[in-house]
Amino acid sequence: MRSTGLKTTFPKGLHYLSGNEAAAEGAIAAGCRFYAGYPITPSSEIMERMALRLSELRGVFIQMEDEISSICAVIGASWAGAKAMTATSGPGFSLMQESIGYAAFTETPCVIIDVQRAGPCTGQATKVGSGDIMQARWGSHGDYQVIALSPWSVQEMYDLTLRAFNLSERYRVPAMVMADEAVGHLRETIRIPEKIEIWDRKKEKGGAPFGTDEEDGVPPMPAFGEGERLLVTGSTHDAFGFRRTDDPEAHAKLVERINQKILKSTRVIVETEDYFLEDSDTALIAYGFTARTSLYVVKRLRKEGARVGLLRLKTLWPFPEEAVAELGRRVKRIFVPEMNQGQVAGEVKKYARCDVISLGQTNGEVIQPGTILEALTKI
């Protein structure tokens, strides 16, 4: 890959990039200086870009032996003080799940970009899908929370990767960017803003790294080598990291806190966008690349006088329950086009008290406007 010739973060202004390249630049802008990964289509360009940029910026890049070791190295680096990231696609995302549970339970900030392809299994490696949405939420065993964002453009590959780092640092939680092949390989002009907001994990000398009485429940996080003599374990632990493997109260308290620290902050974390919903009786709920098609369809139907709108989910986890429930009270029916067999439609059905129609498609192609139009005009 050609050198950017830059020893800094990407300069402000307009740039023509692919989604995967923009995600790497968003990570760099957020302060990411550690990347570990393993090649996999269609996410590899993120790793190649990070290899180049981290060498320019004197960060650390390593290509590991598999996706398991990649996410493990990311977690290890995070405890050494790094803002750290990996990127992958379906099969690699599956391999990472146990470690994502480790990161959630040890409250380790880290970012995982999943450029989704057509699954299950090896599926169609170069084709698009969004079948990993439920896996992002439930992929590891036990009860935990993660944050998952869904970009619909090259601009958002940059913006939401940056945001994933900020949220990950702020809440000490694994944050995922649930991209898809179409957005990852899309090329568009993006604007790098002049000023960006950066969050860093909080530190407190002698503070309990796994316990806090604060309302948002996020304890301070020192790094290895700072003299704190950290005790980090994936077993149930107390506020200072001592294993508590047979204490029911310790387990209940810890599991509750790592869930509540995210659930209590949904107002900060969850972002959605409304399009033409004020007077709509029919709505689309969409995310990722499919939201682009959905908006096109909505605009076209509006021209014909249809009262249809779009709710775009920028955050997938924690799920935007309030926005969906509120929409369900206002419209008669909600269509959910998505590149899986109704993973988000199922969530929508949980919260929206109206007709919910799943428009799932799993053929390795993006959903065409005609497909959505046809479903909508049947009404």
- Residue 174 CA to residue 112 CA, distance in Å, equals 7
- Residue 50 CA to residue 61 CA, distance in Å, equals 7
User: 224 vs 351, which CB is nearer to another protein?
Assistant: 224
- Residues 204-223, one symbol each (x = binds another protein by CB under 8 A, - = not), give -------------------x
276 touching another protein, by CB under 8 A = no
20 touching another protein, by CB under 8 A = no
- Paired tokens of 109: 């900030």
In this structure, are residues 273 and 155 in contact, taking their beta carbons and an 8 Å threshold?
no
Closest approach of another protein to the CB of residue 105, in Å: 10
CB atoms within 10 A of CB 197: 9
In this structure, are residues 184 and 18 in contact, taking their beta carbons and an 8 Å threshold?
yes
User: According to CB under 8 A, which one of 9, 41, 124, 233 is a site residue for another protein?
Assistant: 233
Closest approach of another protein to the CB of residue 28, in Å: 16
Judged by DSSP in three states, 287 sits in: coil
- How does DSSP classify residue 27? H
Sheet containing 355-360: give its strands across: 272-275, 308-313, 282-286, 333-338, 355-360
Which range in 131-139, 199-207, 232-240, 363-371 contacts another protein by CB under 8 A? 232-240
183-to-62, 128, 164, 174 alpha-carbon distances in Å:
25, 9, 17, 22
313 touching another protein, by CB under 8 A = no
User: According to CB under 8 A, which one of 17, 23, 73, 133 is a site residue for another protein?
Assistant: 73
User: 61 vs 199, which CB is nearer to another protein?
Assistant: 61
Which range in 71-79, 119-127, 145-153, 320-328 contacts another protein by CB under 8 A? 71-79
Residues near another protein (CB under 8 A) are 33-34, 36, 60, 62, 64-66, 68-70, 72-82, 84, 98-99, 102, 223-225, 227-235, 241-243
